[in-house]
């Protein structure tokens, strides 16, 4: 039988206690949900964020106006390899700030720069707006990143949850456009299909493990414009042709409704002959990479993921 990591179990107890007098996310508007995430998640899980040599806030041109980006520099020789990072949050919540600690740790562990993208959020900006921002960010860094000390020949893209969805969709978009400046993709416990009829949703989708089936319906409902988008492979990458992509690392948590999304994606990648590695993280839940202050294995998972990216960018 699956068994929660004891530290993970304590975290869930803490989170249940913190949320007991707060409304469920699916009863909130997106604006209210963002405020609740800032109040209950952002400060606590970033309290132990490490110090870096430098962190810069930038703006680059985007398809609908400036895109904010945050560049994390661990103090390495330039021109430096870079991981373009797409934060999670169901395409609706989270920000550069919620993922600040995770990006700092990835940069330190991997000895590369991390460029975090503040893409447009739904439902104010539905699919494909956020994806268009991510594609524009990668293209801009490939063309102009040298001005920031980045080696445009050593770029990777990564993201967690909805950010993993956007990272994979960005790779697909770049491939289909005939220009692929990215050498590797890091996909951390991603959402790759709109369906919730999997075994992992049934086992872990009741709300006991960070996200629920109801949450996923709420997120997808805000992100997509209608039924046609559910069949668009750039929204649901499990439907895509997955050939001719750079090497991918997929990670998945044992106690996560989205576990089977990653397992199904692995099967599709094997069919396509696309190079990939699958890292299964036992005993932990969705969002675990943020929990280093209470969850020892979270740092291990960050270091393993960053090491894989570094290897891909060193080859």
Tens digits of residue pLDDT in 272-286: 999 999 999 999 999
Tens digits of residue pLDDT in 183-202: 999 999 999 999 999 999 99
Tens digits of residue pLDDT in 244-280: 999 999 999 999 999 999 999 999 999 999 999 999 9
Whole-angstrom Cα distance, residue 108 to residue 151?
Answer: 17
pLDDT confidence of residue 144: 98
What is the value of pTM for the model shown?
Answer: 0.98
Q: How far is CA 131 from the centre of its chain?
A: 13
- The per-residue pLDDT of the chain, averaged, comes to 97
Residues with catalytic function:
161, 256, 286
pLDDT confidence of residue 153: 97
Q: Say if residues 196 and 68 touch (Cβ distance below 8 Å).
A: no
pLDDT at 210 over 80: yes
Return the closest-CA partner of residue 215 out of 99, 92, 125. Answer: 92
Strand 80-86 and strand 54-60: the pairing is unpaired
pLDDT confidence of residue 1: 79
Q: Say if residues 216 and 187 touch (Cβ distance below 8 Å).
A: no
pLDDT at 99 over 80: yes
pLDDT at 117 over 80: yes
pLDDT confidence of residue 179: 87
pLDDT at 315 over 80: no
Q: Quote the tokens at residue 139.
A: 């293209």
pLDDT confidence of residue 91: 98
Other beta carbons within 10 Å of 172: 20
Q: Which domains does the chain have, with CATH numbers?
A: 6-314 (3.40.50.1820)
Rounded to an integer, the average pLDDT of 230-237 is 98
Strand 113-118 and strand 67-73: the pairing is antiparallel
């Amino acid at each position: 039988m699956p068994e929660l990591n004891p530290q993970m179990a304590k975290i869930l107890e803490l989170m249940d206690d913190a949320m007991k007098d707060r409304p469920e996310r699916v009863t909130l508007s997106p604006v209210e949900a963002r405020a609740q995430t800032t109040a209950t998640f952002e400060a606590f899980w970033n309290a132990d964020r490490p110090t870096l040599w430098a962190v810069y806030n930038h703006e680059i041109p985007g398809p609908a106006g400036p895109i904010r980006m945050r560049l994390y520099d661990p103090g390495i020789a330039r021109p430096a390899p870079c991981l373009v990072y797409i934060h999670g949050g169901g395409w609706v919540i989270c920000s550069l700030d919620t993922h600040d600690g995770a990006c700092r740790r990835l940069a330190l562990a991997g000895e590369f720069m991390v460029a975090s993208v503040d893409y447009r959020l739904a439902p104010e900006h539905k699919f494909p707006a956020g994806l268009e921002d991510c594609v524009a960010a990668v293209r801009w860094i490939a063309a102009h990143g040298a001005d920031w000390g980045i080696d445009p020949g050593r770029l990777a893209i990564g993201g967690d949850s909805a950010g993993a969805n956007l990272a994979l969709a960005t790779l697909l978009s770049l491939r289909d456009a005939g220009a692929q400046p990215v050498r590797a993709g890091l996909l951390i416990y991603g959402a790759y299909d709109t369906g919730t009829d999997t075994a992992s949703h049934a086992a872990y989708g009741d709300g006991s493990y960070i996200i629920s089936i109801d949450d996923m319906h709420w997120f997808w409902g805000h992100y997509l414009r209608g039924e046609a988008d559910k069949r668009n492979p750039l929204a649901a990458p499990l439907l895509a042709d997955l050939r001719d992509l750079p090497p991918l690392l997929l990670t998945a948590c044992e106690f996560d409704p989205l576990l089977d999304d990653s397992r199904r994606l692995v099967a599709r990648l094997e069919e396509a002959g696309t190079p990939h590695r699958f890292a299964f993280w036992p005993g932990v839940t969705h969002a675990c990479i943020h929990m280093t202050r209470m969850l020892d294995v979270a740092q291990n998972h960050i270091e393993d993921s960053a090491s894989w990216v570094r290897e891909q960018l060193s080859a």
